Structure 1
């Protein structure tokens, strides 16, 4: 199976916008919609679907060819789930700005746009599942868990 960047030979792929995410929205109560470029929910479901296929070999677009296709898919999925779980733990502490969440989730990073986009991917998934909600104040995004 040629996986392109979907499943890599090492590391995990970036799911989001390379420019830090395109996130638009207002609260659900106002009847408006929101969206994010880079669907973490769809990506994780597609990894689960790959596990149901008979795969003997996966060929990523770059990097080494994994010797254990299923193991590599499971490893990728577990890494994404771990990051999402950590994000939920951060939000359990209360409402936080996107910048604070990024800092707590990743610490100091060189490529802030990549981690911003990835973080928005996870947050978008949680909002879509109605596990989290967001507000925007003075041009800053804030997120919190739904009680």
Structure 2
């Protein structure tokens, strides 16, 4: 195709959690354009999506990586404007979805296929979309162009998230296009970096609990485990710390008592 395979339109929803905003993606095919994560209902943003879609033969489908507001935002309005369906992994995650997409579902783009890959961990309903011929992974919130991804229980699960990262390592990915931040041109290095970061944080959690030698609350642990983090981010860090502790608990390495104090399990 003479046209670039995809374009990125930055949604006007910057925040502490979204960074510069959500990357809305438009993917070209001989059958029209596919939109991934409209992101925001801002009228100018929606107009840009429609205009870009028309330049690519018209929008034919709206796909959602997962049900967080900064990804599904604008989807209902875009459906109303275009009359095309919204698809997501499950209506439990995205209630407004017209269709549910099982793991492995493919969308025919004429000269290649776009494959949905169920990639839970950040959220139970998370999908990545894999452009098979080009090796491009539209990764949603599995990885970010800058920083790390927050895992918030119970919708997020640290152990499952690590399994997802390892699964993606098995794909011949040439490029990752995340939902937040710039394109990642060295996918395997980024995936390895993410896994190493999570395992190092887990070692820090275990080390702190070992040093304290008594059950402690989550709020006590946060500044000790996240000493390298801006205190303004402690509330967010607490959620990922809880995810780490739950993983350790499920593995029989940590426990929580009736007063919500955490400790390591005795060997």
Please classify the TM superposition score into its range, dividing by the shorter chain length.
Answer: 0.7 to 0.9
| Within-5 A mapping of 1:61-100 | 61-93=179-211, 94=213, 95-100=215-220
Q: Which residue of 2 aligns with 1:104?
A: 224
Extract unaligned runs of 5+ from structure 2: 1-136
Does the CA contact (< 8 Å) of 1:133 and 1:145 recur in 2?
yes
The whole-number CA distance in structure 2 between the counterparts of 1:136 and 1:81 is 27
CA displacement, residues 75-117 of structure 1 (integer Å, 9 cap, x when unaligned): 1111111111100101112222212111211246113321111
1:11 is displaced (CA, Å) by 1.1
Runs of 4+ in 1 over 4 A off after TM superposition: none
Q: Counting helix residues as a fraction of each chain, which structure ranks higher?
A: 1
Does the CA contact (< 8 Å) of 1:132 and 1:143 recur in 2?
yes
Q: Report which stretch shifted further, 6-15 or 94-103.
A: 94-103
The whole-number CA distance in structure 2 between the counterparts of 1:6 and 1:57 is 14
The CA RMSD over aligned residues, in Å, is 1.4
Q: Which residue of 2 aligns with 1:131?
A: 253
Does the CA contact (< 8 Å) of 2:223 and 2:234 recur in 1?
no
Extract unaligned runs of 5+ from structure 1: 22-35
Q: Which residue of 2 aligns with 1:48?
A: 166
**Structure 1 length normalisation: TM-score?**
0.80
Q: How many equivalent pairs are there?
A: 126
CA displacement, residues 23-81 of structure 1 (integer Å, 9 cap, x when unaligned): xxxxxxxxxxxxx3420000011101111111111110121111201001111111111
Q: Counting strand residues as a fraction of each chain, which structure ranks higher?
A: 2
Higher RCO (CA < 8 A, seq sep 6+): 1
| Higher Cα radius of gyration | 2
